[in-house]
């Protein structure tokens, strides 16, 4: 870490990968914190695709007005195959030099950070990552931007499904997002009082699932709700339903896949505050001379993690929560 304040004239900012609620609040915070220190900000549209294809636009304080409460991302997001190649990253670096951008703030998840790290290593571009993904799978921060909103969106839907499941005495398998990690499934499972939460991190045997459900149904339960992470090894809610429905025909097994509903909507207060803190912190750490780092909040304090560490592995689930879910079901 450098002790002196580094002179930065222009910062670029982009959002990349799957969008998450709170990305706009993060863009706003980057811009406003930069303006506060007399730094220019250039927004890059469509993530790395726009970085390669010259989709640059200067932001001013009005460009980020009235966006803190909006889901999606005003800078748009995309996945760029070309940026995965050295040639693609070379084009991106040329554009950054053309616009005299001294440093880049990349808002997204591990794929976004992997690209930023390569861009920095190959072309000496100063980069800082702001973790934003509903999956909450990034180490170096207790929560990622968008996770809290997605959790509450999914929970609201699951509570509604419980009402109708109860009225009809049915079994519902509800699929939530989480291709590789089960944060949403585990926490919505606990918060909704689900009978089971099936997670990619835990081995799931269909026979055990059937046995556990049979045991619970023997205890006079009239409806049951199973939260299934999309990446669970059972193959998701639809496949699981096919595999268990004959054993539970008296409960009329139904499936609900929540899907992209979980990615949209107005960010919660917690996500807006987190995004505001992390967006401003990104600008500050660049001014302090850091690069190839991610900003996060751990135990309510800002924390800097090298990008190579942030992308080295997925964040693990809290095993005490997995145990708690088992005790309380
Ligand atoms: O944003 C993360 C995530 O929602 C994963 O949980 C999911 O598998 C994936 O994105 C889907 O992304 P897309 O709809 O962009 O293919």
Extents of the domains making up the chain: 2-146+267-310, 147-263
Residue nearest to atom 10 of ligand 1 (CA): 18
Q: Decide: helix, strand or coil at residue 118.
A: helix
pLDDT digits (tens, 9 = 90+) for 262-317: 999 999 999 999 999 999 999 999 999 999 999 999 999 999 999 999 999 999 99
Give strand pairing partners of 296.
303
Q: Which two tokens stand for residue 101?
A: 């951008």
Judged against a pLDDT cut of 50, whether residue 154 lies above it is answered with yes
147-263, what's its fold? Rossmann fold (3.40.50)
Mean pLDDT of 234-244: 96
pLDDT digits (tens, 9 = 90+) for 168-216: 999 999 999 999 999 999 999 999 999 999 999 999 899 999 999 999 8
44-51 average pLDDT score: 98
CA-CA distance, 279 to 296, in Å (whole number)? 10
CATH class of 2-146+267-310: alpha beta
C-alpha 236 – ligand 1 centre gap (Å): 14
Residue in 19, 54, 135, 246 annotated catalytic: 135
Q: From 72, 136, 179, give the residue whose CB has the most ligand 1 atoms within 8 Å, as the site to mutate.
A: 179
Q: pTM of the entire structure?
A: 0.96
Flag whether pLDDT at 25 surpasses 90. yes
Cα 63 to Cα 192: distance, rounded to the nearest angstrom? 39
Answer with the residue of higher pLDDT: 217 or 65.
65
User: For residue 306, what is the enclosing H or E element?
Assistant: strand 301-306
* Cα dihedral across residues 90, 96, 97, 101: positive or negative: negative
**Tokens 């927004």, residue located:** 43
Sign, CA dihedral 202-111-14-72, equals: negative
Matching fold, domains 2-146+267-310 and 147-263: yes
Residue among 49, 135, 182 whose CB has most ligand 1 atoms within 8 A, to mutate: 135
């Amino acid at each position: 870490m450098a002790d002196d304040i580094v002179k930065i004239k222009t910062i670029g900012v982009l959002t990349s990968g799957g969008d998450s609620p709170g990305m706009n609040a993060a863009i706003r915070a980057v811009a406003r914190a930069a303006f506060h220190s007399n730094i220019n900000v250039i927004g890059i549209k469509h993530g790395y695709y726009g970085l390669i294809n010259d989709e640059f636009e200067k932001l001013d304080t009005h460009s980020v007005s009235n966006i803190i409460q909006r889901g999606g991302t005003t800078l748009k997001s995309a996945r760029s195959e070309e940026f995965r190649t050295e040639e693609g990253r070379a084009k991106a670096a040329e554009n950054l030099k053309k616009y005299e951008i001294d440093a880049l703030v990349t808002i997204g998840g591990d794929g976004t950070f992997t690209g930023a790290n390569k861009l920095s290593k190959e072309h000496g571009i100063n980069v800082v990552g702001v973790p934003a993904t509903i999956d909450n799978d990034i180490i170096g921060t207790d929560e990622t931007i968008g996770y809290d909103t997605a959790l509450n969106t999914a929970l609201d839907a699951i509570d509604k499904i419980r009402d109708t499941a109860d009225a009809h005495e049915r079994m519902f398998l509800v699929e939530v997002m989480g291709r590789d990690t089960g944060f949403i499934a585990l926490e919505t499972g606990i918060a909704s009082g689900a009978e089971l939460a099936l997670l990619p991190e835990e081995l799931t045997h269909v026979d055990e699932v059937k046995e556990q459900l049979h045991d619970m149904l023997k205890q006079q339960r009239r409806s049951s709700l199973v939260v299934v992470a999309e990446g669970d090894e059972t193959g998701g809610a639809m496949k699981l339903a096919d595999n268990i429905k004959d054993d539970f025909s008296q409960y009329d097994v139904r499936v609900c896949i929540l899907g992209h509903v979980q990615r949209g909507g107005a960010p919660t207060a917690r996500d807006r505050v987190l995004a505001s803190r992390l967006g401003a912190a990104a600008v500050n750490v660049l001014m302090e001379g850091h690069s190839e780092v991610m900003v996060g909040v751990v135990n309510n304090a800002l924390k800097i993690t090298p990008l190579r560490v942030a992308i080295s592995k997925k964040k693990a689930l809290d095993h005490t929560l997995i145990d708690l879910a088992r005790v309380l079901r």
